[in-house]
Amino acid sequence: MSTRTHLLRAEGVVAGYARDLPIVHGVTVGVAPGEILVILGPNGAGKSTLVKSLAGVVPKFGGKVLLDGNDVTAMPAHRLASAGVGFVPQNANVFTSLTVHENLRIGGYLLSRVDLKRRLDEAYARFPDLGLRRGHAGHALSGGQRQMLAIARALMMAPRLLLLDEPSAGLSPLMVSEVFTNVRKIADSGIAVLMVEQNVKAGLRIADRGLILVTGSTAYEGDARSLQDDPVVAQLYLGRHADTHVDATTHATDGSAA
């Protein structure tokens, strides 16, 4: 795990939809300001459940979550939003019956009138395409535009931590590139980004660090470049042949326990 000071530090998180059937088993993650941590793994590994539990929309049954040193483990989703956590779910991530402008206003629900106006201007400056469609209903947007709107909505509260659940899902390669370029810019502005991603190559390309979940537990962890070059990761997740065979449950590229 990185030695940078973590904004988010989650230790031994156990989460799922039923207490007696957890999906995430004692996962520890940390992400620093300006850093992108990408969480990879096969289907059913618990990636989305982990990020949803960090956003407060899936219950945690164990572990501790610290945000800037403050314990936010039991904090509900609506309070996490005001504490500086933005979340973009994979599905149903915009209000389809509301306009682009209304979606953004909902994103800034807790802001004062003056701050709301300023953040709206910033959102339209950051995503000019949305500015051209501010009166369009969410259901009338393309997949890429919806993803941009979802991210813009999550940024309205100027979060310190942005949680993204598969932002490239269902997008064309061109839109994936655009979305990821924006995600990198967001991180470069000082926001910590924790991103679940199925698109391993694209995810690792923009990330600083990566973590691979297998059946709800951490299997690999390390900096993004070393994960890209790791022969086992390449074989299992990037579709390349590896020269060596390593036990997937014990390997950690940066030497940290996995």
Partner 1 sequence: MIAQAIVDGFLSGAVVALGAIGVTFSLSILRFANFSHGDMLAVGGYVALFVLALVAGPGMLNSSFLSTPIAPFSFGWGVPLALLFAMVVAVAVALLLDALVFKRLRARGADPLTLVFASFGLALVLRNLVLLLFGPDAHNYSNEIQMAVRLPGPVLVLPDQILVFGVTLVVLAVLWFFLQRTRYGMAMRSVAENPVLSSIAGIDIASTIRLTWIVSSMLAALAGVFYGVTVQVRPEMGLNLLLPLFTAAILGGVGSVSGAVLGALIISLCENLLSLVIPSTYKPLVPFVLLLLILYFRPAGLFAPKGR
Q: Does 112 bind partner 1 (CB under 8 A)?
A: no
What is the 3-state secondary structure of 148-215?
A: HHHHHHHHCCCCCEEEEECCCCCCCHHHHHHHHHHHHHHHHCCCEEEEECCCHHHHHHHCCEEEEEEC
Exposure string of 189-217, with b = 16+ CB inside 10 Å and e = fewer, is eebbbbbbbbbbebbbebbbbbbbbbebb
Kindly identify the residues of this chain, within the stretch 74-93, that bind partner 1 according to CB under 8 A. 76-78, 81-82, 86-87, 89, 92-93
Q: Does 19 bind partner 1 (CB under 8 A)?
A: no
Compute the least distance from the CB of residue 120 to partner 1, in Å.
14
Q: Cα(86)–Cα(30) distance, rounded to whole angstroms? A: 16
CB nearer to partner 1: give 167 or 210.
167
Q: Does 248 bind partner 1 (CB under 8 A)?
A: no
Q: Does 106 bind partner 1 (CB under 8 A)?
A: yes
Q: Does 194 bind partner 1 (CB under 8 A)?
A: no
Q: Cα(207)–Cα(98) distance, rounded to whole angstroms? A: 32
Count of alpha carbons within 13 Å of 19, Cβ hemisphere only?
2
Compute the least distance from the CB of residue 29 to partner 1, in Å.
19
CB nearer to partner 1: give 37 or 81.
81
- What token pair was written down for 117? 């106006």
Compute the least distance from the CB of residue 256 to partner 1, in Å.
31
Binding site for partner 1 (CB under 8 A): 55-57, 76-78, 81-82, 86-87, 89, 92-98, 102, 105-107, 109-110, 137-139, 153-154, 156-157
